[in-house]
Amino acid sequence: MGEAVAVGLVGAGPWAGMAHAPALAAGPSTRLAGVWARRPEASAALAGAHGAPSFTRIEELFDACEAVAFCVPPDVQADLAARAARAGKAVLLEKPLALDLDGARRLSGAIAEAGVASQIALTVRYSAAARAFLERARGSAPLGGYGSFVTPVLAGGPFATPWRLEHGALLDLGPHLVDLLDAALGRVTAVRAHGDPLGWVGLLLEHEGGAVSQASVSMAGAAGGPPAHVEVHGRAGHARLDWTDLGDDAFPTMVAEFAAAVRDGGGHPLDAAHGLRVQEILTAAAADLLAR
């Protein structure tokens, strides 16, 4: 293995502290090159906890690294990640890419124009359990499937952030289910939706090859409910993935694959272009909600 990829971190909120910073600092394929956040005190605290420098200007962070990981609200990411790409830095992005489709298209376009590596933190997809599920699902001669992801986020807590409280489950939880069903059943070709993003949203997805699926998302549920899950049924079998099946391997795998993409090139299937396609599906679903 070559020298560890120097990755800067933009953001110092709860998820950055729980997941991004520890995984980047743990190596061996990456090292945490520094932290920048809009709140300097939070940046200094997180960086100090992992023996990394804290920067007061984002340009200083860019100068200190080869790649940048983002853990900030989508509207902030859309602007700052485009700046990172234009500075020649590979980018590890949160989902969704942006708060709206125009922002997502601008960011994806900036990454493509710069020719830098990109990857989306669709965390579940990097777990061994999810990859085994997808192998079983694809081998089942799938007819269709369904998924459910319900959380109590809107009731409060560290993840009840302003953008989630305003936009609800579709943009935050929707990417995980749409991405998994798309990977298991074939590319999504059409979507219909009903419900309320701040209550319950139901999606009906049509896939290449004729499979259909349903997905339900809510951030207004009670704590202690059943785990999120996805299930696929086919002529030759069935497959199910519960979030409780997921181990602790997803983030380390994601970071290692990002480092490989930065070092070796060749891209990654979960790149910004894929993130844009998922956001196009979710935007079509949101438009269908407004039309009802």
CB 236 within 8 A of CB 72: no
The conformation of residue 266, written as its DSSP 8-state character, comes to S
Given this model, what pLDDT does residue 1 score?
Answer: 56
**Both structure tokens of 235:** 């002529």
Neighbour tally for 222: CB within 10 Å: 9
Given this model, what pLDDT does residue 292 score?
Answer: 77
Q: In this structure, is the dihedral angle defined by the CA atoms of residues 217, 222, 227 and 231, taken in order, positive or negative?
A: negative
Distance between CA 127 and CA 180 in Å, rounded?
12
Q: Is 29 helix (H, G, I), strand (E, B) or coil?
A: coil
Please list the ranges in the chain whose pLDDT falls under 70: 1
Encode pLDDT of 157-174 as tens digits. 999 999 999 999 999 999
Domain formed by 5-123+249-269, architecture: 3-Layer(aba) Sandwich (3.40)
Domain segments of the chain as ranges = 5-123+249-269, 128-246
Q: Do domains 5-123+249-269 and 128-246 have the same CATH topology?
A: no
Q: What is the pTM of this model?
A: 0.96
Amino acid at 144: G
Distance between CA 138 and CA 232 in Å, rounded?
9
Beta bridge partners of 7: 32, 67
